Amino acid sequence: MIIKTKKKLSIEVTDKQAVYPVLPLQTGILFPGTMITIQVGRKENLELLKRCENGSKKFVAAYSPHAKRIEDSISPVHQIGVLAVVRDIKESAGNSVVATIEGLKRVSLNEIQKTTPFITAKIDLLQSSKRVPRNLKEKIEEVLQVVSEITTIAPTYSDEHLRVLKMSQEDPSLMADTAASLFRLSLDTQQELLEYVDLSLRFKLLLKHLNAELNRVATLHRIQTNVEKTFEADQEKSFLRQQLREIKKLLGEEFLEEEISIEYKNKIKLNNMLPGEVAARALIEADRLSQLSTASAEFGVTKNYLDWLMQLPWKKSTPEIYKVDDIEKVLSTGYYGPKQIKDQIIQKLSLRKHLGGIDDGPTLCLIGAPGTGKAAIARAIATALGKEFVRVSVGGISDASELKGTLRTFLGAMPGKIIQTLRDAGTSDPVMLIEDIDYFNIENDSSVNMALLEAVDSRLNSKFLDNYIGLPFDLSKVMFICSVRSYEEIPEQFIPRFELLELPGYIEREKIVITKRYILPQLLKKHGLTKSEFKLSDKILAQLIATYTQEAGLLGLSQQLDKIFRKILLEKVTRKKKKWILTENNLETYLGLPYYIPEIAEKEPEIGIAAGLAWTGAGGDLMFIEGIKMRGEGQITSTGSLGEVMKESIQAAHSYVRSKADALGIDFNDFSEFDIHIHFPSGAIPKDGPSAGVTVSLVLASILSERPIRNDIAMTGEVTLRGRVLQVGGIKEKVSAAYRAGIYHVAVPKANENDIKELPKEILRKTKISYLEKVDDLFKLCLLDFTPSTFTLEKIFADEVKKAKRKSRAAKTKITKAKAAKKKAVKK
User: Are β-strands 464-465 and 120-125 bridged in parallel, bridged antiparallel, or unpaired?
Assistant: unpaired
Between the two ends of the chain, the Cα-to-Cα distance in Å is: 126
- Separation in Å, CA 477 to CA 216, 455, 480: 49, 11, 9
Give the dihedral sign, CA 457/417/483/445. Answer: negative
Counting Cα atoms < 13 Å in the Cβ hemisphere of 169 gives 13
Give the dihedral sign, CA 317/318/321/326. Answer: negative
| CB 429 within 8 Å of CB 353 | no
Q: What is the DSSP letter of 531?
A: G
Exactly one of 691, 702, 705, 736 is catalytic; name it.
691
Task: Give the E-state strand segments of 281-333 in sequence order.
Answer: none
Q: Which long-range contacts (CB under 8 A, 24 or more apart) does 333-338 make?
A: 333/380, 334/376, 334/377, 334/379, 334/380, 334/383, 335/373, 335/376, 335/377, 335/380, 336/373, 336/510, 336/513, 336/514, 336/517, 336/518, 337/373, 337/377, 337/503, 337/504, 338/504, 338/758
Known catalytic residue: 734? yes
In 414-491, alpha helices (H): 417-425, 446-456
CA 251 from chain centre, in angstroms, equals 64
CA dihedral 217, 220, 222, 227 (to 10 degrees): -160
Q: What is the DSSP letter of 515?
A: I
In 613-659, alpha helices (H): 644-659
User: Are β-strands 479-484 and 431-435 bridged in parallel, bridged antiparallel, or unpaired?
Assistant: parallel
User: Residue-wise over 503-524: b if at least 16 C-beta within 10 A, else e?
Assistant: bbbbbbbbbbebbeebbbeebe
Exactly one of 173, 629, 734, 736 is catalytic; name it.
734
Catalytic residues: 691, 734
